[in-house]
Homo-oligomer: A and B are copies of this chain.
Amino acid sequence: MTTNLTHSDTEQLPVRQLPLAGLTVLDLGQIYQGPYCGFLLAMAGADVIKIEPPHGEPVRARRESLLPLAMLNSNKRGITLNFKTEKGRSVFRDLVAKADVVLENFMPGVMERLGLGAEALLEINPRLIYASASGYGTSGPNRDHLAMDLTIQAMSGAMYVTGYPDRAPVKAGPAISDFLGGIHLYGAIVTALFERERTGRGRIAEIAMQDAMYPTLASNLTLYYEDPERNPRTGNKHGALAMSPYNTYAAKDGYIAIICVTEGHWPALCRAMGRPDLGGQERYASHAARCAVMEEVDELVTAWACNLTRAEIMAAGQVHHFPCAPVRTLNEVVHDCHMHERGMLNYVTHPKLGEVVLPNSPLRFHQSPPLALKANPDLGEHNEAVLSELLGLSAEAIDSLRQQGAF
A28 at the interface (CB under 8 A from B): no
| Chain-B contact segment, one of A301-309, A334-342, A385-393, A395-403 | A334-342
A218 and B322 form a contact (CB under 8 A): no
Q: How far is the CB of A195 from chain B (nearest CB, A)?
A: 4
Contact with B along A366-394 (1 / 0, CB 8 A): 11000000000000000000000000000
A288 to B65, CA, bound (A): 13
- Asked if A246 CB lies within 8 Å of chain B CBs, one says yes
Contact of B175 with A219 in the complex, beta carbons under 8 Å: yes
Evaluate contact between A160 and B215: CB separation under 8 angstroms: no
* Residue count of chain A within 8 Å CB distance of chain B: 149
Is B197 in contact with A160, judged by CB distance below 8 angstroms?
no
A171 at the interface (CB under 8 A from B): yes
Whether B330 pairs with A154 at a CB distance below 8 angstroms is no
- Given A167-B167, A222-B67, A364 and B58 contact (CB-CB distance below 8 Å): no
B residues near A328, Cβ cutoff 8 Å:
154-157, 160
Residue A152, interface by CB 8 Å: yes
Mark each residue of chain A from 342 to 362: 1 if its CB lies under 8 Å from any CB of chain B, else 0: 101100000001001001001
User: Does A126 count as interface, using CB distance less than 8 angstroms?
Assistant: no
Cβ–Cβ < 8 Å partners of A179 in chain B: 180, 215-216
- Determine whether A270 belongs to the interface, using a CB cutoff of 8 Å to chain B: no
Contact, CB under 8 Å: A136 / B338:
yes
Mask of A138-168 contacts with B, CB within 8 angstroms, 1/0: 1111110111101111111111111110011
B183 and A221 form a contact (CB under 8 A): no
Kindly report which residue of chain B lies nearest to residue A220, judged by CB atoms. B173
A193 CB–B CB distance under 8 Å = yes
| CB within 8 Å for A339 and B175 given contacts A163-B163, A321-B146 | no
Q: Which residues of B contact A139 (CB under 8 A)?
A: 7-9, 341-342
7 residue pairs bridging A and B, Cβ less than 8 Å apart: A20-B191, A67-B221, A67-B225, A68-B222, A162-B162, A171-B236, A215-B362
- List the 6 shortest-distance A-B pairs measured between CB atoms, nearest first: A161-B173, A172-B172, A197-B197, A19-B195, A174-B216, A151-B325
